[in-house]
Amino acid sequence: MSAPRKATAESGEDEGDNCNSKDVISRETLPSSSQKKTPRSVTHKDLENADNSEKVKLSVQNFQPSNYEDLFKDATESESIWATSGSFLRDKSSSEDEELAGPSQTVPPQLSDDSTRVPLGENKDYINASYIRIVNSGEEYFYIASQGPLPSTTDDFWQMVLENNSNVIVMITREIEGGVIKCHHYWPISMKKPLELKNYRVFLENYQILQYFIIRILQVVRKSTGTSHFVKHVQFTNWPDHGTPASVDGFIKYVRFARKSHLTGPILVHCSAGVGRTGVFLCVDVVFCAIEKNFPFNIRNIVAQMREQRYGMIQTKEQYFFCYKVVLEVLQKLLTFD
């Protein structure tokens, strides 16, 4: 899918909820960097408390959507990415107790919901990946949220990429973090030698190492037919072993670059288990698209939609806060240049 499409009435979006959240954005109080507690999972009660708590309004005016691209210049462009005026959007904040910034919990792989799982081939074989459709302001955003490939599932992973015609893979983990293997190295190490799999041959055509992420151009060839498919592989390398990134600037550039790179199929996103950091990316991407189009949005609703389709999307309260931290940074910059 090359661009978000208009959602149909079957999407189930609640018009009444849209009216209540119009021109309003939910934001949690951000965690202190000095706190060292163990993250806990975000519950529906947390979301309800956030939605009903103290409100802080941020008005951003005279924003022209055509200028939005200036705000999020590609990572390969000038590092001075803030150069535009603002929007009319508003925000509300929670006074809920500040939460932790400690080591992220290791969560066992989650089985995908059978109603949203991605089927492989004619036999609809299993892979730990889910279709995620998020509706905001009448538009639908389409993703695949996947577990990071294992040695035994790498062939299946590339089959999923080709069958869904995805041209962008978003990887939000390093292969090894804190001495623990987080994801199998499922692409070639060198441009000189392809990665040979049972059914596929993967070539590294080009790559670029940036401050916050690595861009790779991969060609995947199906051995049985000789057909090839090109993929832009974007790996975020600045997520710490524990907690969330201290600075949001790199992640903002990363999300915008991935969105600009998208041409066909659902954007395929994975971390290790495919729920925590993956959920953060999906949420922030939808919000950025809303800001670009001057649409209202509600982060609580976006997270709820994700969780209806894949269990545990956004694992910890700290990750949930990070979504708001990223959005708040963008809105504050828009206010600065108003």
Task: Render each residue's pLDDT in the chain as its tens digit; 338 residues.
Answer: 444 555 443 333 333 333 333 333 333 333 333 344 444 454 545 444 444 333 333 333 333 444 444 444 444 433 322 222 222 222 322 222 223 222 233 344 455 568 899 999 999 999 999 999 999 999 999 999 999 999 999 999 999 999 999 999 999 999 999 999 999 999 999 999 999 999 999 999 999 999 999 999 999 999 999 999 999 999 999 999 889 999 999 999 999 999 999 999 999 999 999 999 999 999 999 999 999 999 999 999 999 999 999 999 999 999 999 999 999 999 998 888 76
**Chain CA centroid to CA 288, Å:** 11
Neighbours of 203 (CB within 10 A): 17
Catalytic residue, from 19, 183, 271, 289: name it.
271
CA torsion sign, 152 to 157 to 158 to 160?
positive
Active site residue 271: yes
Task: Confirm if 320 and 46 have CB atoms less than 8 A apart.
Answer: yes
Residue 284, φ and ψ in degrees, nearest 5: -65, -40
Q: What is the pLDDT of residue 52?
A: 39
Residue range(s) defining the domain that contains residue 89 = 5-336
Alpha-carbon separation of residue 291 from 69, 105, 110, 287, 295 (angstroms): 11, 32, 32, 6, 6
Q: Cα separations (Å) of 35 from 97, 103, 257?
A: 12, 11, 32
- What lies within 8 Å, CB to CB, of 71 at 6+ separation is 81, 82, 83, 84, 330, 333, 334
CATH assignment of the domain containing 36:
3.90.190.10
Number of domains in the chain: 1
Give the chain as a 3 state SS string. Answer: CCCCEECCHHHCCCHHHHHHHCCCCEECCCCCCCCCCCCCECCHHHHHHHHCCCCCCCCCCCCCHHHHHHHCCCCCCCCCCCCCCCCCCCCEECCCCCCCCCCCCCCCCCCCCCCCECCECCCCECCCEEEEEEEECCEEEEEEEECCCCCCCHHHHHHHHHHCCCCEEEECCCCEECCEECCCCCCCCCCCCCEECCCEEEEEEEEEECCCEEEEEEEEEECCCCCEEEEEEEEECCCCCCCCCCCCHHHHHHHHHHHHHCCCCCEEEECCCCCHHHHHHHHHHHHHHHHHCCCCCCHHHHHHHHHHHCCCCCCEHHHHHHHHHHHHHHHHHHHHCC
Backbone angles phi, psi at 43, to 5 degrees: -105, 170
